[in-house]
C-alpha cells in the first residue's frame, strides 16, 4: 500500500500554513477547524458533507471552509487523494478583509466548493512558492491577488443566526476552549450555561453540526498539533491536550489528521533540520 505523505510549511511573512497530503484513501470523520481553509483537489474523488449539503470533489475542485464549518469526506473510486491546502487564522483574515473590503469584520465564504480557473491558478503558484520557500516579492503579490479574488467573488456577510439557545451554545464553546486540558463532563458544561443535557445536545448539534463531545475533541486535536509541531512527544502532547490516554489520543488524531501523532511531529522535525520555519 502506498504510504501517505504530508508536507507542511509555515510562512512567517504571510502568516499562512501550506500543506500537501498525498496518497491516502482514508475517510475523515465529521470535524471542524478553528481557521480558514483554502484547499485544492489535484487528483482523486471525494464525497464531502458540509453545511447540511453533499458535494462531489473532483480534480480541480477548490474548497473554501470558514472557521467552525463542520465537514466530513469519504473516498470515491480507486485513485489516491492528492490535496493541497492553505490555512489562515481568523485574526489574519480580519486584517486582510479590512484592507481588501474596507470591512472590519471576519469574512465568510458563502460557497463551499467552487470551480474558478483564475483563483485556482493563483492558488497553485502561491502554494508552490510557500512549500519551496522562494519568491518573496512575487509570493506576496500572488497571496494578495488570491485573497482579493476570493473575498470579492465569494464573501457574503453572515445572516443573523436563528439557532435556538445561541448565546448558551457560544458560552459552552468558550468554556470548552478555555478548559479543554481538564476532564470535562456534560454535566459541568450544562451547569455553566444553565441548560439541561437534552436541550444543550439538541441546540449545540443544530448550531455547530457536531456534538459537544466532538467539538471538545476537535479543540484537543488542534492543541495537540501545536504541541507536536514544537517537538513535544506524543505522550506529553496527549496529556497536555486533555486526552484520557495515549491510545485514545493516537486513534482520534490519526482519524482526523490522516497521520499518527509521531509521523506528524516528524514532518516538523525534518523541516527544522533543513532550516525551514515551523508553526
DSSP class of residue 34 equals S
What integer pLDDT is reported at residue 210 of this predicted model?
A: 85
In the structure, what pLDDT confidence band is assigned to residue 277 with cuts at 50, 70 and 90?
A: very low
Domain 5-154 and domain 166-273 have a common topology: no
What integer pLDDT is reported at residue 273 of this predicted model?
A: 61
Tell me: the pLDDT tens digits for 7-56? 889 999 999 999 999 998 889 989 999 899 999 999 999 999 998 899 99
Under CATH, which number does the domain 5-154 receive?
2.60.120.10
Q: Is the pLDDT of residue 176 over 80?
A: yes
Sign of CA dihedral 153, 157, 159, 163: positive
In the structure, what pLDDT confidence band is assigned to residue 278 with cuts at 50, 70 and 90?
A: very low
Tell me: the pLDDT tens digits for 213-272? 989 999 999 999 999 989 999 999 999 999 988 888 998 888 888 788 998 898 877 766
| Among 47, 145, 26, residue whose Cα is nearest residue 96 | 145
What integer pLDDT is reported at residue 258 of this predicted model?
A: 78
Percentage with pLDDT > 70 across the chain = 93
Q: Are 28 and 258 in contact (CB under 8 A)?
A: yes
Predicted TM-score of the model (pTM): 0.77
What integer pLDDT is reported at residue 279 of this predicted model?
A: 38
The tally of CA atoms less than 13 A away on the side-chain side of residue 201 is 7
What integer pLDDT is reported at residue 17 of this predicted model?
A: 93
Q: Which grid coordinates belong to 262? A: 509521531
Q: 154: Cβ–Cβ under 8 A, 6 or more apart, which residues?
A: 64, 109, 110, 111, 114
Phi, psi of 185 (to 5 degrees): -130, 160
What integer pLDDT is reported at residue 254 of this predicted model?
A: 87
Q: Could you tell me the residue ranges of all domains in the chain?
A: 5-154, 166-273
In the 3-class helix/strand/coil scheme, how is 195-206 assigned residue by residue? CCHHHHHHHHHH
Phi, psi of 33 (to 5 degrees): -125, 155
Q: Rounded to whole angstroms, how far apart are CA atoms 169 and 203?
A: 7
To which CATH superfamily is domain 166-273 assigned? Homeodomain-like (1.10.10.60)
What integer pLDDT is reported at residue 109 of this predicted model?
A: 94
In the structure, what pLDDT confidence band is assigned to residue 274 with cuts at 50, 70 and 90?
A: low
Amino acid at each position: 500500500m502506498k504510504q501517505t505523505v504530508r508536507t507542511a510549511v509555515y510562512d512567517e511573512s504571510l502568516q499562512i500554513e501550506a500543506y500537501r497530503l498525498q496518497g491516502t484513501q482514508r475517510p475523515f470523520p465529521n470535524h471542524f477547524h478553528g481557521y480558514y481553509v483554502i484547499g485544492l483537489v489535484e487528483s482523486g474523488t471525494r464525497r464531502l458533507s458540509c453545511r447540511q449539503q453533499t458535494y462531489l470533489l473532483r480534480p480541480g475542485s477548490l474548497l473554501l471552509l470558514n472557521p467552525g464549518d463542520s465537514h466530513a469526506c469519504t473516498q470515491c473510486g480507486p485513485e489516491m487523494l492528492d490535496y493541497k491546502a492553505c490555512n489562515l487564522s481568523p485574526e489574519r483574515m480580519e486584517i486582510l478583509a479590512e484592507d481588501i473590503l474596507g470591512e472590519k469584520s471576519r469574512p465568510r465564504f458563502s460557497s463551499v466548493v467552487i470551480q474558478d480557473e483564475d483563483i485556482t491558478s493563483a492558488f497553485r503558484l502561491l502554494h508552490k512558492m510557500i512549500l519551496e520557500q522562494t519568491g518573496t516579492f512575487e509570493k506576496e503579490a500572488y497571496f494578495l491577488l488570491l485573497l482579493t479574488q476570493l473575498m470579492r467573488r465569494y464573501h457574503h456577510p453572515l445572516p443573523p443566526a436563528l439557532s435556538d439557545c445561541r448565546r448558551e451554545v457560544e458560552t459552552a464553546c468558550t468554556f470548552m476552549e478555555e478548559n479543554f486540558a481538564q476532564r470535562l463532563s456534560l454535566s459541568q458544561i450544562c451547569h455553566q450555561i444553565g441548560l439541561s443535557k437534552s436541550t444543550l445536545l439538541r441546540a449545540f448539534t443544530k448550531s455547530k453540526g457536531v456534538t459537544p463531545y466532538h467539538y471538545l475533541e476537535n479543540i484537543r486535536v488542534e492543541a495537540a498539533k501545536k504541541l507536536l509541531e514544537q517537538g513535544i512527544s506524543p505522550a506529553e502532547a496527549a496529556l497536555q491536550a486533555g486526552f484520557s490516554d495515549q491510545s485514545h489520543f493516537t486513534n482520534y488524531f490519526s482519524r482526523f489528521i490522516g497521520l499518527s501523532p509521531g509521523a506528524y511531529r516528524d514532518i516538523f522535525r525534518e523541516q527544522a533540520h533543513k532550516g525551514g520555519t515551523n508553526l
